Amino acid sequence: MSYAQSTHVPIDRSQSEIKKILSKYGAGGFAYGESGIQAVVMFELAGRRIKFLLPMPHKPSQNATQASIKTYEQLCRSRWRCLVLAIKAKLECVASGITTLEQEFLAHIVLPNGQTVGTVMIPQIAASYESGKMPPLLGLDSNK
């Protein structure tokens, strides 16, 4: 069972809610967009740029059935509601002192080269488990 699988909340309302939540917790520089099968939400908080890539379902073909179109639209609404929940929960954990901003958003922090920490480190973590060797730090060779 997926969260918000039967939500009727429109995507634009979820996006507005995310912006409102971010503003409440002091974030600025809010932006969002869509490209192909992913959406992106970016914001700045405590001197960090944060980027969430939200995978979206494949759009149905032009000759798709109404049922397929409705399923696609429902999946899109559900994904945006999940992101609202995730961002709100992360920010509340930080505000409550349960975790830090870096602990909650580490994989989504944008590095100076434009990549996220997750994009750089997740493949290195997998390789580290396979090889038994520690990964280089943030894409840098630790022997230099």
Its domain, for residue 121, covers 111-144
Question: What is the tens place of the pLDDT at every residue in 86-138?
Answer: 999 999 999 999 999 999 999 999 999 999 999 999 999 999 999 998 887 65
Of 73, 56, 55, residue with least CA distance to 64: 73
Do 26 and 50 belong together in one domain? yes
Do 120 and 63 belong together in one domain? no
> Does some domain include residue 58?
yes
Per-residue confidence at 14, pLDDT binned at 50, 70, 90?
very high
Long-range contacts of 115-121 (CB under 8 A, 24+ apart): 115/139, 116/51
Per-residue confidence at 140, pLDDT binned at 50, 70, 90?
low
Strand order in the sheet with 48-55: 28-35, 38-45, 48-55
Per-residue confidence at 36, pLDDT binned at 50, 70, 90?
confident
Question: What pLDDT is stored for residue 139 in this prediction?
Answer: 54
Question: What pLDDT is stored for residue 54 in this prediction?
Answer: 96
Residue 142 has pLDDT above 50, yes or no: no
Per-residue confidence at 144, pLDDT binned at 50, 70, 90?
very low
Contact 125, 134 (CB under 8 A): no
Do 79 and 57 belong together in one domain? yes
Do 53 and 123 belong together in one domain? no
In sequence order, the 6+-apart residues with CB closer than 8 A to the CB of 35 are none
Residue 1 has pLDDT above 80, yes or no: no
DSSP category for residue 138:
T
Of 57, 62, 56, residue with least CA distance to 41: 56
Query: CA dist 37 to 5, 78, 85, 122, 142, Å?
Result: 19, 15, 21, 21, 36
Q: Could you tell me the end-to-end alpha-carbon distance of the chain, in angstroms, rounded to an integer? A: 48
Number of domains comprising the chain: 2
Mean pLDDT of the chain: 91
